[in-house]
Amino acid sequence: MPELLAPLIDDKDVAARESLAVAYASEGAACPALEERAALLRQAEREFTAVVAARDRVGATSDADRLAAARARVAWGSTILRYSLAPELDRYEISGGLSVERDPLRARLAEAAALLSRGEAELSVLSQAVENDEEKFLLLGLAETIRSLYAECTLHFGWTLVWRATLESQGGAGGIEPASEALRRFDAMARRATEDGQRHSAAIGTGVALRLLGRADESLAVLDRLINENPPYDVNVRAHCEKGRTLLAAGRFDEARATLGRLAAVDPARLAPEHAAARFYVLLAPVLIGDAWLLE
């Protein structure tokens, strides 16, 4: 438990404090009690704040220093997106944005975007340096870490931009720029992804970004291509849900209800524990079917 380790860590040991921040974030993400989860994640962010400030004070005098600074920013930004904001983002999806205060959510997404943008810039320089002199970075043991972290940053930044576009698109044309920027990152991710999970996430993100840009046919083509690959169950469920949403956005209500109906027919109580990620979209499907009837 990180709270037991915290008193043993020297405040000046930046690497140890970064490990502590990651530990708080991991424990918070796994905690089922909402108040305790929120407290752990707040502590994680406090530690990340201290780590980033310490890295900035010292400055980067080597590639390893630059990588460490980027790693802290990516971890912090990813923690905000994937863990701290997760309950709010889920409520936004279930309620169509009606049960969420948008301004605080916008501010937090902007915070995550700023961290990931700075991390992306640092990692882009490092990635190019690896391309120019791979042998040097292999000898330093940094090449694969840089590539992996750059991919993680690109993916999480893409999804942060998708969420910013989602919030802004309901108020007008403000979602076009973040959706376009998200699409650019997902395209890059699709080209250089080395893991199926990254490629699948990028494909779904591409489908969502295209939908936000009003390019429904292209969105459907991307999502159908992913579905036809017969990906893992959780990915398949999410892809079908996003396909249903795209059909809904295109005004193809019968097709949307048919697609979402396959998910609504699943009993969430019978889903195996390893399919917990699919449960949210199974529960969301009947809500979207209701939306289809209302919109039609």
Instruction: Give the Cα separation of 163 and 89 in Å (integer).
Output: 8
Instruction: Give the Cα separation of 89 and 84 in Å (integer).
Output: 10
Reported as a single tens digit per residue, the pLDDT across 67-91 is 999 999 999 999 999 999 999 999 9
Instruction: Give the Cα separation of 119 and 92 in Å (integer).
Output: 27
Does the pLDDT of residue 290 top 60, yes or no? yes
pLDDT-derived band at 1, boundaries 50, 70, 90: confident
Does the pLDDT of residue 203 top 80, yes or no? yes
The pLDDT value recorded for residue 172 is: 62
Using alpha carbons only, give the angle 54, 69, 182 rounded to the nearest 5 degrees. Answer: 130
Does the pLDDT of residue 231 top 70, yes or no? yes
Scanning the structure block, which residue is given the tokens 């501010």? 107
Q: Which of 154, 204, 201 is nearest to 181 (CA)?
A: 154
The pLDDT value recorded for residue 66 is: 94
* Burial call 169-205: b when 16+ CB within 10 Å, e when fewer: beeeeebeebbebbbebbebbbeebeeeebbbbbbbb
- Whole-angstrom CA distances from 277 to 213, 233, 236, 237, 282 are 26, 9, 11, 9, 10
Does the pLDDT of residue 278 top 80, yes or no? yes
Least confident of 38-47, 97-106, 200-209, 276-285: 97-106
Scanning the structure block, which residue is given the tokens 């195996």? 272
Does the pLDDT of residue 171 top 60, yes or no? no
Inter-residue contact 193 to 154 (CB < 8 Å): no
Instruction: Give the Cα separation of 295 and 276 in Å (integer).
Output: 30
Does the pLDDT of residue 4 top 70, yes or no? no
Reported as a single tens digit per residue, the pLDDT across 33-69 is 999 999 999 999 999 999 999 999 887 789 999 999 9
Distance of CA 234 to the CA centre of its chain: 16
